[in-house]
Amino acid sequence: MSPVVGVVALVAITVCLAAIVAVGAASLSLGSTAPTAAFDLSVDGDENEIVIEHVAGESLDVRELSIVVAVDDTRLSEQPPVPFVGANGFEGTPSGPFNERSDPTWHSGEHASLTVARNNDPSPNSGDSVSVSLSVDGHRLATLETVAE
C-alpha cells in the first residue's frame, strides 16, 4: 500500500510543479524594445549647433525620445526637452522634428538640429568632443560622438 501512496504523491507533486511553472512562464512578458535606427552627428562649434541626421531604420516619435548631450564627458546643465520651442539653455527654435510645431515623427533622411546657448555649461566649442545619447522608454537607441568643427 505504501508504494502506491508514494507514487500518487509524486505524481501530484509533479502536476502541481508543472502548473506553477506554466503559470510563471505565461506571466512573463517580453518588454518593449527600442526601435532600430542609425544616426549621424555633426557639431558646429562656432555656432554651437548640433545636427543629428536619421540615416536609416524605423521612424521615431520624438515625443518619446530623450536626449542627453555632453561636451568633453560633462553633461550640459540644461538638456534638450524634445520637441520644444524656446527651452532654457537653447537658442531659438530647433529644426526638423525637434521643433514642437513640426511633425513629431522623425523619418529616415531627416535632419534635426538645435543650438546650445552660451550660458548652457559647457557649451561646445571647436575642437571639443561632443556626445549625444538617444533613448526611447529607457532603452538606449544610440550614442553618437564627434569632435566639434
The residue with greater pLDDT, 143 or 18, is 143
* Residues 73, 129 contacting (CB under 8 angstroms): yes
Q: Which domain holds residue 101?
A: 37-148
Residues 52, 84 within the same domain: yes
Residues 60, 22 within the same domain: no
Instruction: State how many domains the chain has.
Output: 2
Residues 26, 43 within the same domain: no
Instruction: Give the pLDDT confidence of 135-148 residue by residue, as tens digits.
Output: 998 889 999 999 99
Residues 17, 41 within the same domain: no
Residues 133, 73 within the same domain: yes
- In 83-138 the beta strands, taken as DSSP E runs, fall at 90-95, 105-106, 111-116, 129-136
Instruction: Give the pLDDT confidence of 115-130 residue by residue, as tens digits.
Output: 999 999 998 999 999 9
| Confidence label for 2 from pLDDT (cuts 50, 70 and 90) | confident
> What's the pTM value of the predicted model, to 2 decimals?
0.76
